[in-house]
């Protein structure tokens, strides 16, 4: 058989395969429709528009634009053979999380930079080593993490308290988060030089992964070696591999499992093929735990700096009772943390693959085999579930138990289901502790506004602050349980009021702090998207 005949045969085979696939999908759709299920609507955005905006630094703003002008769960044009669905409805997202595993097409791109698969990129709903890793985040281990975190945070605060200069908050938080995970998880004192290596690796890998995830051609050219992007990232990643090797060797020598719960969980697990596999998961824990915590802390501090009246009221309540009682007697602390998580979700989107048909609360269904982009950022800004979703309103979390239950059922910052965030309890505890100590002792003054930037995570890039020590009152305020502050937050405003009247906030109109509503209206000024659509 000649070359021409081979090409004809291959083309015919591909044609038959495509026709069979399309026929099968049509039959499945008709079967689902006979059962009363509705197929998902389609977005009207173009493939070029979606690809361009998903690979750029303004992806979250573009997702907000889509969520406000398109159906909240809809089929989107993507450069993939599979049907791709974008979801910005939190209740639909929970149905997706309950049935779907991770989409390896998206997460697997990181394997090229980590020299193999990890617990983070494993597409199955129950990775074998995940159960062992969960032991590193039980109640006892979280208390250990909290103790170490508080100690390192106090050292950082003492260092910053001695100077009146402003500083780059994100950089400080990244360093602090890495050193905390290293010390609390592996009982290893990471140096600044070693932390810089990890930060460099994370930055380079995240940017390249983002480009390859949404650009299949670039991914193919890198995989076959026509482009040397992977080689350049791997060169940097080898430095992080060396640091992680030193951390694991230190654990093997000390074997103090109580002080190194993550090291113990990884090293003692029987689910790993070899030490190289263990090392990859150690790197993943260090990488995954540092930027999310650091950026979420930075966003929370930024919000408090934007609203000094709320910051002042929180300080008053924190000083009214001992630190060990904050969780019970200062609900405003949890409220400001949770509201910042809702308004500025650092995990912008997660990716799932439907192994079976997924029925949604709306009566629609996602067909098996579909790839799903769960837009966490806009699930938490969905106006159907959160009143005035673009406003910073901590008091929304201070309602009745029934009101809080309704809000919490739609709060999916850490995702839900079998692949939810392993360290979510730890992250929440760390945030409350650090923010509480910071606000209690210092006035947060912002000296440079952030420029939001996206590269897998949502960063308040360039945010600079100054910490001004606040003197302790001469006479400590009496402790009340529960605290009934004379100042309360006005619903939907972010303002503070007293019995005699309200203290109006100063409205801010700053670059990089536009609300989601403004982003939707002014999208044409921010990105190349050329669309004038209304919700379908």
Tokens of 196: 């810089």
* CA pair distance 56, 52, nearest whole angstrom: 7
* CA pair distance 143, 130, nearest whole angstrom: 20
Please spell the DSSP secondary structure of 326-395, one letter per residue: HHHH-HHHHHHHHHHHHHT-SS-EEEEE-SS-EE-TTSBEE-TT-EEEEEHHHHTT-TTTSSSTTS--GG
Please spell the DSSP secondary structure of 220-244, one letter per residue: HHHHTTSS-HHHHHHHHHHHHHHHH
Q: Write the DSSP symbol of residue 507.
A: P
Q: Is residue 333 domain-resident?
A: yes
Q: Residue 472: its pLDDT value, please?
A: 67
Tokens of 261: 């719960």
Please spell the DSSP secondary structure of 234-283, one letter per residue: HHHHHHHHHHHHHHHHHHHHH--TTT-HHHHHHHH-S--SSHHHHHHHHH
Q: What is the pLDDT along the chain (536 residues), one digit of tens a residue?
A: 565 665 556 556 555 554 554 454 554 554 445 456 889 999 999 999 998 898 878 889 999 999 999 999 999 998 888 899 999 999 999 999 999 989 998 888 888 888 888 888 888 767 888 888 888 888 888 899 989 999 999 999 998 887 789 999 999 999 999 999 999 999 999 999 999 998 999 889 988 988 888 888 898 999 898 999 999 999 999 999 999 999 999 999 998 999 999 999 999 999 998 999 999 999 988 888 788 899 999 999 999 999 999 999 999 999 999 998 998 999 999 999 999 999 999 999 999 999 999 999 999 999 999 999 999 999 999 999 999 999 999 999 999 988 889 899 999 988 877 677 777 777 777 888 899 999 999 999 999 999 998 888 899 999 999 999 998 654 444 444 334 343 444 444 444 443 333 333 333 434 344 444 333 334 333 333 333 333 33
* CA pair distance 82, 434, nearest whole angstrom: 43
**3-class SS at 471?**
coil
Q: Residue 14: its pLDDT value, please?
A: 55
Q: Residue 393: its pLDDT value, please?
A: 96
Q: How many domains does the chain fold into?
A: 1
**CA neighbor of 392 nearest in space, from 376, 381, 378, 403:** 381
Q: Is residue 18 domain-resident?
A: no
* CA pair distance 292, 252, nearest whole angstrom: 28
CATH number for 330: 1.10.630.10
Say if CB 14 and CB 49 are below 8 A apart.
no
- Name the CA dihedral angle for 455, 459, 460, 465, rounded to a multiple of 10 degrees: -130
Q: Is residue 53 domain-resident?
A: yes
Q: Is residue 19 domain-resident?
A: no
Q: Residue 15: its pLDDT value, please?
A: 59
CA-based R_g, the chain, Å: 25
* CA pair distance 348, 456, nearest whole angstrom: 7
Task: Give residue 225's domain range.
Answer: 41-472+480-526
Per the annotation, does 170 bind a ligand? no
Q: Residue 163: its pLDDT value, please?
A: 76
Where b means 16+ CB within 10 Å and e means fewer, 195-234 reads: bbbbbebbebbbebbbbbbbbeebbebbeeeebebbeebb
**3-class SS at 522?**
coil
* CA pair distance 223, 126, nearest whole angstrom: 28
**CA neighbor of 318 nearest in space, from 125, 129, 473:** 473
Q: Is residue 425 domain-resident?
A: yes
Where b means 16+ CB within 10 Å and e means fewer, 265-304 reads: bbbebebbeeeebbbbbbbbbbbbbbbbbbbbbbbbbbbb
Q: Is residue 283 domain-resident?
A: yes
Q: Is residue 420 domain-resident?
A: yes
* CA pair distance 526, 536, nearest whole angstrom: 23
pTM: 0.81
Say if CB 227 and CB 218 are below 8 A apart.
yes
User: What residues does 165 pair with on adjacent strands?
Assistant: none
State the sign of the Cα–Cα–Cα–Cα dihedral 171, 173, 176, 182.
negative
Instruction: List, in sequence order, the alpha helices (H) in 108-228.
Output: 111-114, 128-134, 139-161, 169-186, 192-214, 216-223
Q: Is residue 4 domain-resident?
A: no
Q: Write the DSSP symbol of residue 54.
A: H
């Amino acid at each position: 058989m000649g070359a021409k005949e081979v090409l004809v045969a291959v083309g015919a085979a591909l044609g038959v395969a495509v026709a069979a696939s399309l026929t099968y999908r049509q039959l499945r759709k008709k079967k689902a429709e006979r059962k009363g299920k509705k197929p998902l609507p389609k977005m009207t955005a173009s493939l070029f528009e979606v690809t361009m905006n998903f690979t750029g630094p303004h992806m979250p703003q573009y997702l907000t634009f889509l969520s406000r002008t398109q159906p909240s769960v809809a089929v989107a044009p993507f450069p993939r053979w599979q049907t791709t669905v974008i979801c910005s409805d939190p209740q639909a997202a929970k149905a997706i999380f309950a049935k779907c595993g991770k989409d390896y097409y998206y997460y697997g791109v990181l394997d090229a930079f980590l020299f193999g698969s990890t617990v983070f990129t494993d597409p199955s709903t129950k990775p074998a080593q995940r159960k062992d890793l969960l032991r590193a985040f039980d109640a006892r281990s979280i208390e250990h993490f909290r103790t170490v975190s508080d100690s390192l945070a106090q050292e950082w605060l003492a260092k910053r308290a001695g100077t009146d200069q402003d500083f780059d908050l994100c950089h400080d938080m990244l360093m602090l988060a890495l050193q905390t995970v290293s010390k609390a998880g592996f009982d290893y004192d990471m140096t600044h030089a070693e932390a810089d290596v990890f930060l460099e690796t994370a930055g380079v890998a995240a940017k390249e992964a983002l480009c390859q995830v949404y650009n299949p051609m670039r991914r193919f050219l890198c995989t076959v070696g026509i482009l040397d992007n992977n080689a350049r990232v791997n060169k940097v990643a080898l430095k992080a591999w060396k640091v992680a090797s030193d951390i694991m060797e230190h654990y093997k020598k000390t074997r103090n499992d109580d002080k190194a719960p993550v090291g113990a969980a990884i090293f003692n697990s029987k689910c790993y093929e070899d030490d190289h596999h263990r090392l990859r998961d150690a790197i993943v824990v260090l990488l995954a735990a540092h930027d999310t915590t650091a950026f979420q802390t930075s966003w929370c501090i930024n919000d408090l700096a934007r609203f000094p009246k709320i910051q002042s009221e929180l300080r008053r309540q924190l000083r009214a009772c001992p630190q060990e009682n904050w969780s019970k007697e200062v609900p405003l602390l949890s409220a400001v943390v949770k509201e910042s998580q809702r308004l500025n979700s650092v995990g912008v989107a997660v990716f799932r693959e439907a192994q079976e048909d997924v029925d949604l609360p709306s009566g629609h269904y996602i067909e098996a085999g579909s790839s799903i982009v769960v837009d966490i950022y806009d699930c938490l800004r969905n106006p159907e579930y959160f009143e005035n979703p673009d406003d910073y309103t901590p008091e929304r979390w201070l309602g009745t138990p029934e009101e809080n239950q309704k809000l919490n059922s739609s709060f999916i910052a850490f995702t839900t289901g079998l692949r939810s965030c392993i360290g979510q309890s730890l992250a929440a505890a760390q945030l409350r502790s650090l923010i509480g100590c910071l606000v209690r002792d210092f006035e947060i003054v912002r000296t440079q506004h952030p420029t939001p930037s996206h590269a897998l995570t949502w960063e308040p890039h360039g945010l600079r602050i100054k910490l001004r020590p606040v003197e302790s009152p001469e006479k400590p305020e009496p402790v009340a349980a529960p605290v009934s502050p004379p100042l309360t937050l006005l619903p939907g405003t972010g303002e503070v009021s007293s019995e005699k009247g309200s203290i109006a906030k100063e409205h801010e109109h700053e670059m990089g702090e536009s609300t989601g509503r403004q982003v939707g209206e002014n999208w044409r000024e921010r990105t190349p998207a050329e669309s004038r659509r209304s919700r379908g």
